[in-house]
C-alpha cells in the first residue's frame, strides 16, 4: 500500500537542486496544489494520512530524520491529521523566516495544508534554539491572535494541545490572573490572545530564537 502511494505521487515531486555545496540533509520537496489537497489513497497504514505523507515525501530515503510538524483538525492532536510540514534546517535568521503555507525558497515541504483548520499540532524532532509563531492573520499581523513557542532543548515529540492560552487562574493576592505566558525548562510559550486562534491558523513562521 505504501509503495503504491509513493509511485503515484512521484510524478509530481519537485526536488531542489543538490550541488556539491548542498547540505547533507534530505532534499526539500514541494507537492503541487493538486497533490497537496488530494486524498492519500492507500497510504494510511497507521491511520494517520499526514504522517504517511511525511514518509512518502522523502521516499526513497526510507528514514527521514529531520524535524517536522503534523497539524490536526481537533485539539489534543486528535481527529484527522490533515497536513504535514518538513524541513531539514529550521534554524533560519529571524529576518528571513520559513513561512507556512507559502514558503517560496524551497526550505520546507508541505502537504495537505488547509487555512483556518488547525486546532493542535505535533512537533517531532525539533532542535533547541527555534521559535515557531502560529498566527491567525495571513500576514502574521500582531493585532490578531498569535502564539510563540521557543524551544530551549531538543524536542523529540510534543503535542501542542491548543494554540490558545490557559484559562485565567485565581491568585489569592492578585485575584483572577489572565495567562499570557508559560515558561518551562523545555519550551517557553507566549500568547497574544484577541478572540481565538484554534481553527483559525493562517500563517506560521519558523526561525531561530530572536
Ligand atoms: Ca485566520
Ligand atoms: Ca482571532
Q: Which domain holds residue 122?
A: 2-208
Regarding pTM above 0.75, the answer is no
Ligand nearest to the CA of 201: 1
Say how many domains are in the chain.
Answer: 1
Supply 200's cell numbers: 483559525
How many Å lie between the centroid of ligand 1 and the Cα of residue 202? 4
Q: Where are the beta strands (DSSP E) in 43-186?
A: 68-72, 81-86, 98-100, 109-111, 120-126, 130-135, 146-151, 155-160, 169-171, 175-177, 181-182
List the pLDDT tens digit at each of the 210 positions of the chain: 333 333 333 333 333 333 344 444 444 444 444 344 333 333 333 335 555 555 555 444 446 678 989 999 999 999 888 888 988 889 999 999 999 999 888 888 888 899 999 999 999 999 999 999 999 999 999 999 999 999 999 999 999 999 999 888 899 999 999 999 999 999 999 999 999 999 999 999 999 988
Q: How far apart are CA 66 and CA 192, in angstroms?
A: 29
Q: How far is the CA of 61 from the centre of ligand 1 (A)?
A: 35
Q: CB 57: neighbour CB atoms within 10 A? A: 25
Which three cell numbers, joined as nine digits, stand for 59? 521516499
Ligand 1 centroid to Cα of residue 194, in Å, is 12
Nearest ligand to the CA atom of 146: 2
* Ligand at shortest distance from the CA of 196: 2
* Ligand 2 centre distance from Cα of residue 199 (Å): 9
- The rounded Å distance from CA 192 to ligand 2 centre is 10
Amino acid at each position: 500500500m505504501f509503495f503504491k502511494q509513493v509511485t503515484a505521487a512521484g510524478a509530481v515531486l519537485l526536488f531542489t537542486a543538490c550541488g556539491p555545496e548542498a547540505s547533507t540533509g534530505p532534499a526539500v520537496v514541494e507537492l503541487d496544489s493538486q497533490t497537496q489537497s488530494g486524498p492519500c489513497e492507500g497510504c494510511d497504514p497507521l491511520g494517520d494520512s499526514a504522517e504517511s505523507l511525511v514518509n512518502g515525501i522523502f521516499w526513497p530515503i526510507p528514514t527521514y530524520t529531520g524535524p517536522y510538524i503534523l497539524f490536526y483538525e481537533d485539539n489534543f492532536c486528535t481527529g484527522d491529521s490533515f497536513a504535514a510540514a518538513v524541513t531539514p534546517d529550521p534554524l533560519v535568521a529571524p529576518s528571513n523566516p520559513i513561512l507556512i503555507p507559502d514558503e517560496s525558497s524551497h526550505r520546507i515541504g508541505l502537504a495537505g495544508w488547509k487555512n483556518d483548520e488547525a486546532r493542535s499540532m505535533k512537533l517531532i524532532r525539533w532542535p533547541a534554539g527555534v521559535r515557531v509563531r502560529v498566527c491567525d492573520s495571513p500576514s502574521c499581523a500582531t493585532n490578531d491572535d498569535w502564539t510563540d513557542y521557543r524551544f530551549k532543548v531538543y524536542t523529540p515529540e510534543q503535542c501542542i494541545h491548543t494554540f490558545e492560552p490557559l484559562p485565567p487562574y485565581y491568585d489569592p493576592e492578585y485575584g483572577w490572573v489572565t495567562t499570557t505566558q508559560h515558561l518551562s525548562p523545555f519550551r517557553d510559550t507566549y500568547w497574544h490572545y484577541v478572540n481565538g486562534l484554534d481553527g483559525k491558523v493562517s500563517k506560521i513562521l519558523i526561525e531561530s530564537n530572536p
